[in-house]
Structure 1
């Protein structure tokens, strides 16, 4: 039996295209699950901060942030957010930019590493993205993050201690260093089997095809090895 395909995803929980890409990947994998020889995958999320200079408590809404950060006219930002909201809806996601609380995400990334150590990284990733884009929850302050962590089954007291001590900050920085080594300067970015890079929130069909191709190649390689 072949080893699972590794899918390493560099993303930021405050990246709207990352949540869309996550959903499209999940849809692509769901489509392969009924294959006679269904691919097996192992997904790991890695840290990438889109705006590391953002304050924890940003004074303004998402339009204020993007207009100031990217120097875009407010009308253009509004059109861009409307487009992203529509694309998200097609992926089954409800984005509420009017409620969104822009913040620094480094502590959220530390939390994801803690969740990974406890076997709950996928649940934590989903909870953070949903809280941020759909519910308008704050995901930059330790108390707010601890509350979200408890919702997915992490111990609140332990999580608070981990975040206050910055126990996983080095792991966050290591992910970011690996991204630079790969030449990743935008997210989402998917590295499949350590060989193939897929950039951006590709459609579900694109993920479906590449996963099937990699799995088929795995099978062909295994047959060659058995044949000697």
Structure 2
């Protein structure tokens, strides 16, 4: 989110109709969302997810509790605040892929790009072990994560069906989505375990690159 606001500000902040920038009002909303999420994460890492209330987050971010819920309908989304961004990136990667590029290849390229950029959604390097420990220690956060994976699988099934001209309820796209999500989940689970074990980030990133390549090779033969 910070990157989006920074790019808009460098581009002049407000743009007229048809422009690609963000208005000052939109920038303010982005900054408010970032501040709320940042304060929430700081408190959760320091004290644990269940031990912090939404009211405490609101006070730390200097906003009302209602404002917090306007930006984050669920407490879990304060910590897992990049879920919407993940959906957006994947949807754009599949729908805006080049001619002759299969959806699976588009997803593979996205995963490699995120890793190369050091993007938070790459799964390694951005968050330290303390962040992951909060997730591991919270049943509520883990439940939200599983729910997000199910939502992600449904979204991916729709994208695969759309790309292949299939119906939304056909089994083929749903099977492809389930296999894809399971495969990439195994990659990121491995990466997280390595990071929590104290393996240097540079080493994990190199391993993750190989894991992503292997995963793509296997999925390409199956799907």
TM-score (norm 2): 0.25
Name the structure with the higher strand share: 1
Name the structure with the higher helix share: 2
Q: Which has the higher contact order (CA 8 A, sep 6+)?
A: 1
